[in-house]
Amino acid sequence: MSSFVAHRSKPLTISALDYGVLSSDDVSRHSVLQCRRVVGREKDFTINDRRLGVCSRGETCATCNLPTEECVGHPGHLQLALPVFHSGYFTTVLRICRTICKRCAHVLLTDEEKAYYVQKLQSKSLDTVQRAALAKTIHTDAYKTRVCLNCGSVNGTVRRVRPTRLIHEKYSAGVLRRNQTSDDDQQAFFSTLTAAAQANPEVDALKGNAQDVLDPLRVRDLFRAIPPQEVLLLGMQPGVRVDDLVLSSLVVPPVCTRPSGPAQVGTGTREDDLSVQYNDILVCCDAMKDDRMGVLEPAKLIEQWDMLQLRVARLLDSALPGYPAHLKPQPVKSFAQRVKGKHGRFRGNLSGKRVNFSGRSVISPDPNLEIDELALPLRIALKLTYSQRVFEQNIALMRQLVLNGPERHPGACFVTLRDGTKKNLQFDREAVAAKLQVGDIVERHCMNGDLLIFNRQPS
């Protein structure tokens, strides 16, 4: 009995679930291996290391020592040479960059406005819609402020010029004309630009087009400098690390989720699309490490950084719009393509009729139901079984359901014994009911009070 039920003096109850951004510390803590690029046939420390699990028959996982049939795999991670933007968080990053000062990272509001908005956000009577409207008001008021009230720095327009590139128009002629003032950064920049124009007259014609690029490294440093008491003004909970919105490391999924297969032409193996993309990222990181050591010029480093950003974005979503066609040579199946769409995990494997324990029916109202209840057609209740483990407390009920069989509701269709043997209850139900033991699993009919997942189409 103890092998199936953990004895506790008091039952545990889940009160709430908190969702947040996966930090680099969380990635490292859950990882069994930091992957790197290894040249040659050796697999140690690569993304196909046996410590991440195995996908071939006869192999044993080096972490749990279980065979392929039993090992569920173990995640690893890889460290990026330089931080990059997460394409899924990019809209939030853009909004925060417009809300804070690009020098001191304070929210562009007066102290009185900050205190007023914090008090409003801490109110327990604020619902989700009101909180979203208040966050939008904070962002609008801060975006209108052009001179930081904390450090006096001039803040221009922050806009998106590429799928994952931010530009701060601090040095444009329009910003200078509107503010009628300049800060130390602008004065130092134009002094350097004037000196460069004297050496090269062509530079002088480009003065009005000067832009301040907010690269991921600078944005991460800005987010780290945001005062903790002002995080609430950005639409986040107190204690959240805003810099986690910028990626510094990536989770490497277990090998069994991206298995290798035989090559279509010739001998050898064909790697999964995810494995190919992770290898491309490692190659790019190695090239950037050489650049950072001074092997190549800064322009080459920036080019490799842009390529790393592109490859990470394509790993998350290969259909991301805005990238040139020549940078996407062939379609690949990234994380987003495996989850979304008609053939993705949710609609194709979890919500549809392609799997066990799922069904589909028409929907209609019923005034006799409680607000938290849904009625199930009897035909589906007979076919859609519920896996119920047998305990001492319910063994009598389970035996009665087994005796009722698959045609009489409430009944059962199958029984899975503790040794894995599956019994069909179309025949010999009396013998199966008599031998039913604690630990067996009864595939019973759906009954009143069961907790089921429903999805209304179209969703």
pLDDT in tens, 119-137: 999 988 888 899 999 999 9
Give the bridge partners for 53, in sequence order.
Answer: none
The answer on pLDDT for 419 being more than 70 is: yes
Give the pLDDT of residue 459: 56
The answer on pLDDT for 240 being more than 90 is: no
The answer on pLDDT for 105 being more than 90 is: yes
Give the pLDDT of residue 277: 93
Q: Is the dihedral of CA 82, 83, 87, 92 positive or negative?
A: negative
Question: What is the distance between the alpha carbons of residues 375 and 370, in angstroms, rounded to a whole number?
Answer: 10
The strand order across the sheet containing 212-214 reads: 157-162, 165-169, 212-214
Mean pLDDT, rounded, of the chain: 84
Q: What percent of the chain has pLDDT over 70?
A: 82
Question: What is the distance between the alpha carbons of residues 437 and 429, in angstroms, rounded to a whole number?
Answer: 14
Give the pLDDT of residue 51: 93
Looking from the CA of 37 toward its CB, the CA atoms found within 13 Å total 16
Give the pLDDT of residue 194: 66
Give the pLDDT of residue 339: 87
pTM above 0.85, yes or no: no
Question: What is the distance between the alpha carbons of residues 164 and 217, in angstroms, rounded to a whole number?
Answer: 13
Give the pLDDT of residue 79: 94
Provide CB contacts within 8 A for 25, sequence distance 6+: none
Question: What is the distance between the alpha carbons of residues 78 and 39, in angstroms, rounded to a whole number?
Answer: 16
Question: What is the distance between the alpha carbons of residues 354 and 348, in angstroms, rounded to a whole number?
Answer: 7
Per-residue pLDDT, averaged over 432-438, amounts to: 91
Chain position carrying tokens 């008021």: 141
Of the candidate ranges 180-194, 239-253, 443-457, the one whose mean pLDDT is the lowest: 180-194
More confident residue, 420 or 251: 251
| Interval 263-321: pLDDT, tens | 666 666 788 889 999 999 999 998 888 655 566 677 888 888 999 999 999 999 888 77
Give the pLDDT of residue 1: 42
Contact between 259 and 55 (Cβ < 8 Å): yes
Residue 38's Cα: distance from chain center in Å? 27
Question: What is the distance between the alpha carbons of residues 423 and 398, in angstroms, rounded to a whole number?
Answer: 14
φ, ψ (nearest 5 deg) of residue 280: -60, -40
More confident residue, 365 or 308: 308
- Helix ranges, 108-199 (H): 111-121, 128-144, 173-179, 184-199
The answer on pLDDT for 2 being more than 50 is: no
Mention the CATH class of domain 361-458: alpha beta
Give the pLDDT of residue 283: 92
The answer on pLDDT for 182 being more than 60 is: no
Q: What is the DSSP string of 313-325?
A: HHHH-TT-TTS-G
Give the pLDDT of residue 352: 58
Question: What is the distance between the alpha carbons of residues 120 and 129, in angstroms, rounded to a whole number?
Answer: 13
Per-residue pLDDT, averaged over 246-267, amounts to: 84
Nearest to 230 by CA among 110, 92, 88: 110
Give the pLDDT of residue 390: 93
Nearest to 52 by CA among 335, 309, 272: 272
Of the candidate ranges 233-247, 286-300, 363-377, the one whose mean pLDDT is the lowest: 286-300
The answer on pLDDT for 411 being more than 90 is: yes
| Banded model confidence at residue 56, pLDDT cuts 50, 70, 90 | confident
Question: What is the distance between the alpha carbons of residues 112 and 81, in angstroms, rounded to a whole number?
Answer: 41
Give the pLDDT of residue 203: 60
More confident residue, 29 or 204: 29
* Nearest 10 degrees: Cα torsion 223, 225, 229, 234: -20
Give the pLDDT of residue 218: 94
Give the pLDDT of residue 299: 81
The answer on pLDDT for 176 being more than 60 is: no
Instruction: Pick the most confident of 16-30, 37-51, 99-113, 344-358.
Output: 99-113
φ, ψ (nearest 5 deg) of residue 91: -65, -40
Give the pLDDT of residue 125: 87
Task: Report domain extents, the chain.
Answer: 19-170+213-316, 175-210, 361-458
The answer on pLDDT for 89 being more than 90 is: yes
Per-residue pLDDT, averaged over 170-199, amounts to: 61
Cα angle value 422/423/429 (rounded, 5°): 160
Contact between 344 and 351 (Cβ < 8 Å): no
Residue 426's Cα: distance from chain center in Å? 45
